A = this chain, B = another copy of it.
């Protein structure tokens, strides 16, 4: 379903659309996207919403997080045919009571029936958490790297990601999108150290499959001194090299969080469409 033409709100009366902001611990799930015979975040939210509304609803998320990946602020839209004017807080409480403990709705607001969580999102921000120590409380939310890392080198390398690059050396082939372009515009990228936590944060219009986890894997290799800054630059210039086995270095899903989805002001969006 592409474009705005499929929005039920435009075709039928009595269909309302809400923007949901969601937090979830992805550990137990096969990712966001609904699949047969697998427990997914989208599936759980659909189940809760259909139980509450008593009819079929449409749920679309801004980012398709992979198995084991978390979100602190995923955005989804919920479209349901209903004649009742519902208070957004009532929907929030009803959904939270029906959802498992590791999925929480943080906020609900009614939006235009034209709103589409995925198509309207201008950028997504992902954060990756590397711990330099064992953590009793956060094992499922970090990648614990025991070796010493050169954090300033990693920070310099992260800075170089900003701008327009061909990320073909960092992508996993996505069978559902064979013709996807590998050019990505990165609006910000940084590595910062917060005591015993190394945080990598990247904002871009879109991301290729496994791109963030492979970037982190390569940054950690660089931090350990196992590849050089020249190797890193080659990858960033799309000069892939079988010696640099990026796929094998993919960072574990546990440290990855979808942290923010940015929607430009509606009036800006109208302007862009003209």
Give the contacting residue for A133; candidates B24, B70, B104; CB below 8 A. Answer: B104
Kindly provide the distance from the CB of A71 to the nearest chain B CB, expressed in whole angstroms: 8
Taking A23-B135, A24-B136, A25-B137 as given, write out 11 further A-B residue pairs in contact, using a Cβ cutoff of 8 Å, ordered by the A residue number. A23-B137, A70-B137, A96-B134, A101-B134, A101-B136, A101-B139, A102-B139, A103-B136, A104-B133, A104-B136, A105-B134
Q: Which residues of B contact A105 (CB under 8 A)?
A: 134
Task: Identify which of residues 61-120 in chain A touch chain B, using a CB-to-CB cut-off of 8 Å.
Answer: 70, 96, 101-106
Chain B proximity of A130: nearest CB distance (Å): 16
Closest CB of chain B to A134's CB: distance in Å?
A: 4
Asked whether B137 lies within 8 Å of A141 as measured between CB atoms, the reply is yes
Which residues of chain B are within 8 angstroms of A135 by Cβ–Cβ distance? Answer: 23, 104
The docked-state distance in angstroms from the alpha carbon of A137 to that of B24 is 7
Dominant secondary structure of chain A at its interface with chain B: mixed
Q: How many copies does the complex hold?
A: 2
Find chain B residues with CB under 8 A from A133 CB.
Answer: 104, 106
Q: Which residue of chain B is the closest to A70 with respect to CB atoms?
A: B137
* Residues of chain A whose beta carbon lies under 8 Å from any beta carbon of chain B: 23-25, 70, 96, 101-106, 133-137, 139, 141
Residues of B within 8 Å of A104, CB to CB, are: 133-136
How far is it, in angstroms, between the C-alpha of A96 and the C-alpha of B134 when the chains are bound?
7
A-B contact pairs, 13 of them (CB 8 A): A23-B136, A24-B136, A25-B136, A70-B137, A101-B134, A101-B136, A101-B139, A102-B136, A103-B136, A104-B134, A104-B135, A104-B136, A137-B141
Cα separation A133 to B24 with both chains bound (whole Å) = 14
Q: Find chain B residues with CB under 8 A from A134 CB.
A: 96, 101, 104-105
Across the interface, which residues of B come within 8 angstroms of A23, CB to CB? 135-137
Shortest beta-carbon distance, A11 to chain B, in Å? 34
Closest B residue to A139 by beta carbon equals B101
| Chain B residues positioned under 8 Å from A103 (CB to CB) | 136
- Residues of the B chain whose Cβ atoms lie less than 8 Å from the Cβ of A106: 133
Q: Using CB atoms, name the residue of chain B closest to A106.
A: B133
Bound: A23/B105 CA distance, A: 30
Q: How far is the CA of A109 from the CA of B127 in the complex (A)?
A: 34
Q: Which residue of B lies closest to A146 (CB)?
A: B93
Q: CA–CA, A199 to B133, complex, Å?
A: 26
Instruction: Report the separation of the CA atoms of residues A70 and B96 in the bound assembly, to the nearest whole angstrom.
Output: 26
Q: Which residues of B contact A70 (CB under 8 A)?
A: 137
What B residues does A102 contact at CB under 8 A?
A: 136-137, 139
| Cα–Cα distance between A91 and B105 once the two chains are bound (Å) | 43
